[in-house]
Amino acid sequence: MAYTPQYYPGSTSVGINRRKHMSGNLEKLRDIPEADIVLTMGHRKPGQDYPSTHPPLKEMGEPDCPVRQVVEPTPGAAAGDRVRYSQFADSYYFSPSIPYWRSYWGSINCRGCDPGTLSGRQIIEARERDIESYTKKQVDSEMNDVALSSMRGCTVHGHSLRLEENGMMFDMLARTEMGKDGNVYQVKDQVGIPLDKKLNLGKPMSEAEAKKRTTIFRVDGVPIGGKTGARKYDEAVEALHHMWELRSKWGYRPE
Apex 160 CA angle, 159 and 164, nearest 5: 65
Report the mean per-residue pLDDT for the chain: 91
Per the structure, the count of domains in the chain is 2
- On whether both 167 and 205 belong to a single domain, the answer is yes
pLDDT at position 111, please? 95
- Give the pLDDT band of residue 231 (cuts 50, 70, 90): low
- On whether both 77 and 112 belong to a single domain, the answer is yes
CATH number at residue 176: 3.90.320.20
pLDDT at position 119, please? 78
- Give the pLDDT band of residue 226 (cuts 50, 70, 90): low
Task: Identify whether 243 is part of a domain.
Answer: yes
- Give per-residue pLDDT as tens, 128-139: 999 999 999 999
pLDDT at position 237, please? 82
pLDDT at position 235, please? 82
Task: Identify whether 110 is part of a domain.
Answer: yes
Q: What's the rounded Cα separation, in Å, for the pair 24 and 43?
A: 26
pLDDT at position 183, please? 97
- On whether both 40 and 140 belong to a single domain, the answer is yes
pLDDT(21) > 80: yes
Residue 110: what residue type? C
pTM equals 0.89
- The stretch 88-109 carries a mean pLDDT of 92
More confident residue, 120 or 168: 168
Number of alpha carbons in the 13 Å side-chain half-sphere of residue 3 = 3
- On whether both 201 and 147 belong to a single domain, the answer is yes
Contact 80, 57 (CB under 8 A): yes
- On whether both 172 and 253 belong to a single domain, the answer is no
Most confident of 23-27, 199-203, 231-235: 199-203
243: containing domain: 226-255
- Give the pLDDT band of residue 33 (cuts 50, 70, 90): very high
- The stretch 67-86 carries a mean pLDDT of 95
pLDDT(246) > 90: no
pLDDT at position 54, please? 95
Q: What's the rounded Cα separation, in Å, for the pair 235 and 222?
A: 14
- On whether both 51 and 94 belong to a single domain, the answer is yes
Q: What's the rounded Cα separation, in Å, for the pair 213 and 9?
A: 17
- The stretch 31-57 carries a mean pLDDT of 96
pLDDT at position 230, please? 53
Apex 131 CA angle, 216 and 184, nearest 5: 55
- On whether both 45 and 124 belong to a single domain, the answer is yes
- On whether both 198 and 230 belong to a single domain, the answer is no
- Give per-residue pLDDT as tens, 187-210: 999 999 999 999 999 999 999 999
Task: Identify whether 66 is part of a domain.
Answer: no
- On whether both 188 and 93 belong to a single domain, the answer is yes
- Give the pLDDT band of residue 9 (cuts 50, 70, 90): confident
More confident residue, 237 or 27: 27
- On whether both 190 and 246 belong to a single domain, the answer is no
Task: Identify whether 67 is part of a domain.
Answer: no
Task: Identify whether 64 is part of a domain.
Answer: no
Task: Identify whether 6 is part of a domain.
Answer: no
pLDDT(225) > 80: no
Please name the residue ranges forming H helices in the chain. Answer: 13-23, 34-41, 57-60, 66-70, 75-79, 99-109, 128-140, 207-213, 235-250
